[in-house]
Amino acid sequence: MIKVKQNVSRIALVAAIVIATAITSAPASATAASECAIDAAAVIYPAPQRACLTGWISAPSSFEIDADEKLVGSQALDYLSEALGKNGISTSPATGSGIIYFAFGGPEHETVFRQEGYRIEVSAGDRVEIKISARTGAGFFYAALTLEQLIAKNTSSPVIAAGEVIDFPAFSYRGVLEGGYSVWSHEKRLAIIEWTGKMKMNSFIYAPKEGMYFRRRWRAPHPDEEMEWFKQYVEASARNHVEFAYSLSPAMSMEYSDPAEFEALAAKYARMQEIGVRRFGIFFDDVLPYLSTPADRAAYKNIAEAEVEVTNKLLDALRERDRDVKLFFVPNQYWGWTPTDYMRIVREKLHPDIDIGWTGRDIVSNSIPADDVREFIKLVGRPPAIGDNWSPLGPVERRDPDIYKLTSSYLNNPYGFADDSRAKMSRFVDSTVADYGWNPEAYDPARSIRRASEIIAGGQPAGDALLLALLIKGEKVSPSNIAEIPALLESLSDASKAESSAARLRELLNSYSSALPAAELSPMFAAEVAPALEKGLGAFSNASAALASMSLPADSASVDQIKKILGLKK
């Protein structure tokens, strides 16, 4: 049961929480490191900005929820009630109930356009008390997601981590760009939008290169069935505090100087405005940068003039319906910082409110140092909206931790998983995108992919087992991300460590064999990785058998045999 907090009668409590949770230039009160007994980054994902978890306490069988009346019916309360129920905790007050307070306040932070921060305090006195404060619905939603993680799973009775979490994102925009040369099905795209919000990402961009009506048939209206799909994307995005962005790419065939062509373009965007879309993109990438018709060659000297004119006119048309609409532009030159006439025209003529998409030094950038971002800003005169093209089955890495100080946007295009049969595999890399985008200064790629696999598989050791199974299947998983296995194998040849390493290795392989079939995978994702699961289980069994017959300390040939079985040696 949710008790509604009346603003007048509860004003003292609200004021107290606001005062207690405000973060200004003064630092929060320091807590001795020894008191923070739990590694917060091992519990909360994405890694929190500031947290001190002091220990595990018994959770009550029920919680009374005392919420500000503005939050009644919110996603945060609905999600929290569901999450508590999954852990055997009800929201019907009873003797011995704990209490969860929701009140407006929460931390302020630098991403001023998106106040998504929250504060959680968990304490145990006469009863367990949890105080949650935030400034926006998104902040309360993210707090509910974190509170679910603070409840330990796989225990005989629920326990919860006590302490304090003060958390907020570094990047204002964090999310997924569907921009590969294939198309996700409606079901896969909808599932990924739902998951995007659960990972505390807030942006999803629709831009599939081979989408029937995205590029080749950009003039044609979407059929009614697809319009119903888009309505579902907008609704799912709203439920999960994700901003759905719709995009088109007219660059292959548009005659820019023809008013009728622009009217067709604007009408298609307007139809999306009618169903609630408020952020849009226009893509001019991956086509030859030439004016292709006599009329356009007569009207413009450079393709950039045509692209910028159309983009500026599109912003004006969108703003006739919605003054707060947002638009981003992906130029033909969307990487690097070469001082061309094209980029000079973009700098001089593109409306200052329009963001510019950029992938870094290269189309697929091995790294994105902060100095590269500065070079782009120097060339164009505004920060880039980073649309990274990072797509191995592993963690995003070699992105500087301070890029967020130069740009507010970090999204990723998992183009390697654009095929519908591999769509949900993108969750591995994009989970780490969520982790990096939330707290890049604390980001650790190896830790992040292991935590991501744990969340995807529903716990450990299933997470490590899933990664290892994918490696065995031949996916491009780095062996360094498979927790202890590589180091244990190397120790089998060391007389002082061989026995203990073999015992630990057998224990892990046995746990993987048990955990993988029980992994909490959605049916859709389980079908996607089924070949890897089958091959992994067979390899775990074969590796255990080889280990049982091995003489210790092992010779290099015996160790190599197990490495080959486990996909660690080609």
At 516-536, the pLDDT tens digits run: 999 989 899 999 999 999 999
Beta 63-68 vs 98-104: how paired, if at all? parallel
What's the CATH code, domain 173-443?
A: 3.20.20.80
Confidence check: pLDDT of 153 > 90: no
Asked if residue 193 lies in contact with residue 244, where contact means CB atoms within 8 angstroms, the answer is yes
- pLDDT, residue 72, reads 83
Counted residue by residue, the chain has a size of 570
CB 395 within 8 A of CB 472: no
pLDDT of residue 341: 97
pLDDT at residue 361 is higher than 80? yes
Checking if the pLDDT of 69 tops 90, the result is no
Q: Average pLDDT for residues 312-329, to the nearest whole number?
A: 97
* Cα angle value 113/164/140 (rounded, 5°): 40
> Residue 407: what are its φ and ψ, rounded to 5°?
-145, 150
Give DSSP secondary structure letters for 431-497.
HHHHHHHH-GGG--HHHHHHHHHHHHHTSTTHHHHHHHHHHHHT----GGGSTTHHHHHHHTT-TTT
Tokens of 178: 């569907």
- pLDDT recorded at residue 460: 86
Output the pLDDT for position 1. 44
What pLDDT digit, counting tens, does each position of 477-490 carry?
888 888 789 999 99
Q: What is the band of 11 on the pLDDT scale with cuts at 50, 70, 90?
A: very low
Q: Round to whole Å and give the CA distance between 69 and 48.
A: 28
Quick one: which of 437, 438, 478, 434 has its CA closest to 452?
A: 434
Q: Is the pTM of this model over 0.85?
A: yes
Q: Are strands 50-58 and 159-167 parallel, antiparallel or unpaired?
A: antiparallel
**How would you classify the pairing of strands 128-134 and 98-104?**
parallel
Dist. CA 532–CA 512, nearest whole Å: 13
Q: What is the domain partition of the chain in residue ranges?
A: 2-167, 173-443, 462-565
Tell me the mean pLDDT in the region 497-504. 94
Specify the CATH number for 2-167; select among 1.10.287.70, 3.30.379.10, 3.30.1360.170, 3.40.50.300. Answer: 3.30.379.10
Whether 125 and 54 have beta carbons less than 8 Å apart is answered as no
The pLDDT of residue 155 is 66
For residue 154, the model assigns a pLDDT of 63
Q: What is the 3-state secondary structure (H, E, C) of 117-159?
A: CEEEEEEECCCEEEEEEECCHHHHHHHHHHHHHHEECCCCCCE
The mean pLDDT of 546-551, rounded to a whole number, is 93
The predicted pLDDT at position 34 comes to 56
Helices (H), 185-258: 186-198, 224-239
Report the alpha-carbon distance of residue 57 to residue 98 in Å, rounded: 12
282-291, 349-358, 367-376, 433-442 — which is least confidently predicted? 282-291
Summarize the confidence of residues 430-444 as an average pLDDT. 97
Identify the residue whose tokens are 């100095």: 371
Helix axes 186-198, 523-548, angle to 10 degrees: 70
- Which range (70-74, 322-326, 372-376) has the least confidence? 70-74
In the predicted model, what is the mean pLDDT of the chain?
A: 91
- Residue 13 pLDDT exceeds 80: no
pLDDT of residue 303: 97
On the question of pLDDT at 409 being above 80, the answer is yes
* pLDDT reading at 349 higher than 60: yes
Q: Say what the pLDDT of residue 28 is.
A: 36
Q: Which tens digits make up the pLDDT trace of 158-184?
A: 899 999 999 999 999 999 999 999 999
Measured distance CA(28)–CA(50) in Å, rounded = 9
CA 152/CA 89 separation, integer angstroms? 12
Alpha-carbon gap, residue 215 to 113, rounded angstroms? 31
Q: For residues 179 and 185, what is the distance between their CA atoms, to the nearest angstrom?
A: 14
Which pLDDT belongs to residue 7? 37
Helices H, strands E: what count in the chain? 17, 16
| Alpha-carbon span 395 to 418, nearest angstrom | 17
Angle between helix axes 445-457 and 426-438 (nearest 10 degrees) is 120
Among the residue ranges 30-34, 310-314, 381-385, 389-393, the one predicted with the least confidence is 30-34
What pLDDT, in 10s, does the model give residues 78-112?
999 999 998 889 988 777 789 999 999 988 888 77
